[in-house]
Amino acid sequence: MRLAAIAERLGLGFEGADLDVTGMNTLTEASPSELSFLSDRKHLNDLKTTRAGAVLVGGEFAAEVPESTRALVCGNVPLTMAAATALFAPPPMDADAPAPVTGEGSFVDPRAHVENGAVIGRNATVMAGAYIGSHAVIGDDTVIFPNVTVYRDCKVGSRCRIHAGTTIGSDGFGYAHTAQGEHVKIWQNGNVVIEDDVEIGSNCSIDRAVFNTTFVRRGTKLDNHTHIGHNCDIGEHCIFVAQVGVGGSTTLGRNCVVSGQTAFTDHLDIAPFTTFTARSGVTKSIQESGKVWSGYPLMEHRLWVKLQAKLAKLVKS
Amino acid sequence: MRLAAIAERLGLGFEGADLDVTGMNTLTEASPSELSFLSDRKHLNDLKTTRAGAVLVGGEFAAEVPESTRALVCGNVPLTMAAATALFAPPPMDADAPAPVTGEGSFVDPRAHVENGAVIGRNATVMAGAYIGSHAVIGDDTVIFPNVTVYRDCKVGSRCRIHAGTTIGSDGFGYAHTAQGEHVKIWQNGNVVIEDDVEIGSNCSIDRAVFNTTFVRRGTKLDNHTHIGHNCDIGEHCIFVAQVGVGGSTTLGRNCVVSGQTAFTDHLDIAPFTTFTARSGVTKSIQESGKVWSGYPLMEHRLWVKLQAKLAKLVKS
Amino acid sequence: MRLAAIAERLGLGFEGADLDVTGMNTLTEASPSELSFLSDRKHLNDLKTTRAGAVLVGGEFAAEVPESTRALVCGNVPLTMAAATALFAPPPMDADAPAPVTGEGSFVDPRAHVENGAVIGRNATVMAGAYIGSHAVIGDDTVIFPNVTVYRDCKVGSRCRIHAGTTIGSDGFGYAHTAQGEHVKIWQNGNVVIEDDVEIGSNCSIDRAVFNTTFVRRGTKLDNHTHIGHNCDIGEHCIFVAQVGVGGSTTLGRNCVVSGQTAFTDHLDIAPFTTFTARSGVTKSIQESGKVWSGYPLMEHRLWVKLQAKLAKLVKS
């Protein structure tokens, strides 16, 4: 889509040469063909070094936009950014894509729903009632159980097992807010990549990224009712017990153990080999690997045990 | 159904003229053609002013029944009421209804399951594997993703997005209990109405009302794994982060923000513009709007912060 | 499968007569035709009295194996046991089984997905998009709502209602771990039995047993988003409010009441007639029946109330 057309749709002006915009992205990840935005002044340093072809920016920061980047000045960046994402949202399916391709030795139940553009590897099983979206990829030897939904553009690796009722690639939860208290959708135009040897239990939800990709890395195992927000990156060989929730853009290192009903807020970084006991409430990043954490607010497990002993004494006093 | 036939089926007598009973309802909401019940003496004042055509009532309260209302005296009102609800329960689908109707510009995937009596608006999308029950209504421009289930008689507004695996209209959780500890189903004969511009994440469950309607009001956004109990009324422009649960008959005002894993018990009234931080446990109604709450038991957020500081000090002592 | 062939596949030797091995099981439950294992020395007494035909055992315990049981000595019992379970894992469906059988008066929607070998009783309803696996059994008068998944070999009793999106028989969550931090699947070769008069809400997950059976007993009612781990035994006439999770092998007696968002760790025994208030965190077994429990760590409800009063005082001080 041409930048001039985008600007017109958004009611904005810009200076500089027109540009073919291939998509949107964050300031740090945008390429010269992508449109970015500064919606929070805390990212001002990222603006100064962005490679984005164009940015949505408030007038007060227009002077900070790098020379090679076109500035689209707007009054309300979050709302304009949300409106811009709608311009890049693909339809739920791509009916015009070529017929799906299935590798040798695979069993795709004729009662499964496989969209055009999907690619299924070798020796895979896709059971009745499962949905495989347009341009989705299912790896070799993977089993997709009944009534699983893999949204368009999402990828599941080899030797995975995705259990019934699980959804891969539903929209991440992102909105801009009007002064009247209405919520304007930020369209979720990224995807999900499930790497090899991952098992996901039943009725889990792995949301697609707003831009780029939500990752569940190689060898990780997720129990039932896990919720993974958009743009998370769940490291290799993690173990999630049931009913865990992870807020958007949170990253876990390899071999984390996350016990049942634990929850993470968004934008955290968790060191590898971290363990969380049941129902931990994680609201801060963890730099040091190998530790055990508990409670909400989160504390080291040994402190949590000590706190519970104190509380037990308190209740007896 | 005639009241005399109902009484016979329930093994009860009654005095007064027979009546065509169109359904059941609470004392405050029942019309003159409906059957109601007094299952808890705390509703005695409602009995005195009810407009119901007939009521199930214990003998000790029969004298309190208004003149225009017929009294059906029974030994165990909750069990009799549960038995009565079964008489009004429609079958899971209405095969005899006319063929479904789809508005102009809509795409209803031939692999979707649309029952007779369903009505789908204009420019809507119903994807493969989705189920649209008898007499269900899907609004204009709405997208129903794969493997969603909309039970019979439920309504989804315009410009909604209902993500994969979500269930709208499953039975509310209600039982009467025998002296032997068995649970007798109270049939859930109401429906769900999702108003316009609502987005619901994946694997959510919105239960149908026991009588009348469970509402999710205009502009509200629910993240994945949300549970909404029967007869709730979730106000306009609310935001629910993932894994929230709401007990039956709880009402939220507009623009409430409910953070992840928060839960509400039943029969609460929450003022508009109320915010709950993550994992709040809400067991009391909130009258004053605009406040921020936390914790379980629930307290104002500033007190919760203070409490956590005290506990941190306690663990160090 | 012959024991000699199993040993060869696992790279193990054994002494004694060969044997036709019908499956795997725990030391206490294995029959003379089954293979068992000692993966934790705390079960050493069970080894001494096992009736298993053969056991996987570390060299240091080989002398404790009963005379009638063959010892297969291995260096890493958990990993070898996991590898052995793979040898007994049936495929996700049994296409060669005879066509499904449906009893008189049942309605099985032609858009439901019923595998060969399934048996559906009388006057049952299986709605569009529901999946009934190979050799699964659905009882008389039971309703299976749309997009439910019943995995192979699982049984649902009579007069049950299984709501949309619920999964019965997905794999339990069990892995052995390599020194490199990889997780090796313990195949879940058991099943699930839902007894008569059970109602299960929407988007629940009832995992199949690793060996034997996960039970939900007669008359129990589970609200939406309930997670039941492998090998649980949920007693008769229990009530589970929404979003409850139960870890593997936990047993509840009859008529327990489990309030919303409560969680149980694995391998607990809960006395009948026990009540848990909302969001209890249960990490220990309960012997005495009829009590009310709260909190995490769990305590008697009256103590929890007292603790909250103390904390309220603390925050005011």
Q: Which residues of A touch B146 (CB under 8 A)?
A: 113, 131, 133, 149
Residues B89-98: pLDDT tens digits? 999 999 999 9
Residues A209-260: pLDDT tens digits? 999 999 999 999 999 999 999 999 999 999 999 999 999 999 999 999 999 9
Q: Are C154 and C169 in contact (CB under 8 A)?
A: yes
C264 burial type by CB count under 10 A (0-12 exposed, 13-18 middle, 19+ buried)? buried
Size of the B and C interface in Cβ pairs below 8 Å: 126
Q: Are A99 and A120 in contact (CB under 8 A)?
A: no
Q: Which residues of C touch B (CB under 8 A)?
A: 109, 111, 125, 127-129, 143, 145-147, 161, 163-165, 199, 201-203, 219, 221, 223-225, 237, 239, 241-243, 254-255, 260-261, 278-279, 308, 311-312, 314-315, 317
Q: Which residues of B touch A93 (CB under 8 A)?
A: 127
* C123 plus C216 within the same structural domain: yes
Mean pLDDT of chain B: 97
Residues C85-105: pLDDT tens digits? 999 999 999 999 999 999 999
CA C116, CA C120: separation in Å to the nearest integer? 11
% pLDDT > 90, chain B: 98
Distance to chain C for A60, nearest Cα, Å: 44
pLDDT at B317 over 90: no
Q: Which residues of B touch A118 (CB under 8 A)?
A: none
CA A43, CA A62: separation in Å to the nearest integer? 14
**What is the pLDDT at residue C97?**
98
Residue C311 lies in a domain: no
pTM, two decimal places: 0.98
Which residue among C92, C203, C303 places its CB closest to the CB of A127?
C92
Which residue among B149, B281, B307 places its CB closest to the CB of C146?
B149
Residue C314 lies in a domain: no
Residues B199-226: pLDDT tens digits? 999 999 999 999 999 999 999 999 999 9
Q: φ and ψ at B60, to 5 degrees?
A: -70, -15
Q: Are C282 and C261 in contact (CB under 8 A)?
A: no
Domain boundary among C48, C65, C87: C87
**What is the pLDDT at residue A317?**
82
**What is the pLDDT at residue C16?**
86
**What is the pLDDT at residue B77?**
98
Task: Label the pairing between strands C292-294 and C299-300.
Answer: antiparallel
Residue B312 lies in a domain: no
Q: φ and ψ at B276, to 5 degrees?
A: -115, 125
Contact assignment for C203 to A203 by CB distance below 8 Å: yes
Mean pLDDT of chain A: 97
Q: Which residues of C touch B281 (CB under 8 A)?
A: 278-279
Of C85, C138, C136, nearest in space to C108 by CA: C138
The helix (run of H) or strand (run of E) holding residue C305 is helix C301-316
pLDDT at C125 over 90: yes
Which residues, at least 6 apart from B307, have a Cβ–Cβ distance to it below 8 Å? Answer: B295, B299, C311, C314, C315
Provide the 8-state DSSP code for A288: S
**What is the pLDDT at residue C15?**
84
**What is the pLDDT at residue B306?**
97
The helix (run of H) or strand (run of E) holding residue C108 is strand C107-108
Residues B58-85: pLDDT tens digits? 999 999 999 999 999 999 999 999 999 9
Question: How far is the CA of A274 from the CAs of A249, A289, B93, B312, C246, in angstroms?
Answer: 18, 6, 50, 22, 23
* C187 plus C274 within the same structural domain: yes
Which residue among B165, B223, B224 places its CB closest to the CB of A149?
B165
Contact assignment for B203 to C279 by CB distance below 8 Å: no
Best residue of B123, B170, B200, B202 to probe chain A, by most A CBs closer than 10 Å: B202
At how many degrees (to 10) do helices A301-316 and B301-316 cross?
A: 100
Neighbours of chain C (3+ CB pairs under 8 A): A, B
**What is the pLDDT at residue A193?**
98
Average pLDDT over residues A67-94: 97
* B171 plus B208 within the same structural domain: yes
Average pLDDT over residues C185-204: 98
Which residue among B93, B167, B183 places its CB closest to the CB of C221?
B183
Amino acid at the residue B172: G
CATH of residue A80: 3.40.1390.10
Angle (CA) A164-B167-A222 rounded to 5° is: 35
CATH of residue C246: 2.160.10.10
Average pLDDT over residues B270-284: 98
Contacts 24+ apart (CB under 8 A), C130-135: C131/A127, C131/A128, C131/A129, C131/A146, C131/A147, C131/A164, C132/C100, C133/A146, C133/C92, C133/C93, C133/C169, C134/C93, C134/C94, C134/C95, C134/C97, C135/C94, C135/C97
Average pLDDT over residues A89-104: 97
CA B263, CA B253: separation in Å to the nearest integer? 16
Q: Which residues of B touch A227 (CB under 8 A)?
A: 223-225, 242-243
Domain boundary among A87, A110, A134: A87
Q: Are B154 and B192 in contact (CB under 8 A)?
A: yes
Question: How far is the CA of A114 from the CAs of A109, A170, A238, C195, C294, in angstroms?
Answer: 10, 17, 30, 35, 47
CA B226, B231, B236, B237: dihedral to nearest 10 degrees?
-10
Contact assignment for A129 to C151 by CB distance below 8 Å: no
**Given A177, A230, A267, A301, the catalytic residue:** A230
Total count of domains within chain B: 2
Residue C312 lies in a domain: no
A230 is catalytic: yes
Domain boundary among C53, C87, C121: C87
Residue B137 lies in a domain: yes
Residues A261-290: pLDDT tens digits? 999 999 999 999 999 999 999 999 999 999
Question: How far is the CA of B300 from the CAs of B284, B286, B297, C204, in angstroms?
Answer: 12, 11, 10, 33
Residue C13 lies in a domain: yes
Distance to chain C for A300, nearest Cα, Å: 16
* C44 plus C186 within the same structural domain: no
DSSP string covering A233-268 = EE-TT-EE-TT-EE-TT-EE-TT-EE-TT-EE-SS-
Contact assignment for B279 to A265 by CB distance below 8 Å: no
* C146 plus C215 within the same structural domain: yes
* B221 plus B118 within the same structural domain: yes
Contact assignment for C261 to A261 by CB distance below 8 Å: yes
Q: What ipTM score was computed for the predicted complex, to two decimals? A: 0.97
* B234 plus B270 within the same structural domain: yes
**Given B163, B227, B230, B237, the catalytic residue:** B230
**What is the pLDDT at residue A14?**
87
pLDDT at B145 over 90: yes
* B138 plus B263 within the same structural domain: yes
Amino acid at the residue B166: T
**What is the pLDDT at residue B16?**
86
**What is the pLDDT at residue B163?**
98
Contact assignment for A203 to C207 by CB distance below 8 Å: no
Best residue of B108, B109, B111, B113 to probe chain C, by most C CBs closer than 10 Å: B113
**What is the pLDDT at residue B262?**
98
Tokens, residue A304: 């949590």
Which residue among B163, B203, B315 places its CB closest to the CB of A303?
B315
Which residues, at least 6 apart from C26, have a Cβ–Cβ distance to it below 8 Å? Answer: C36, C46, C211
Which residue among C199, C225, C254 places its CB closest to the CB of B205?
C225
**What is the pLDDT at residue A104?**
98
**What is the pLDDT at residue C14?**
87
Residue A94 lies in a domain: no
Residues A184-217: pLDDT tens digits? 999 999 999 999 999 999 999 999 999 999 999 9
Tokens, residue C136: 């699964």
Query: Could you tell me the residue range of the domain that residue A297 belongs to?
Result: 101-303
Contact assignment for B170 to C163 by CB distance below 8 Å: yes
Beta bridge partners of C162: C144, C200
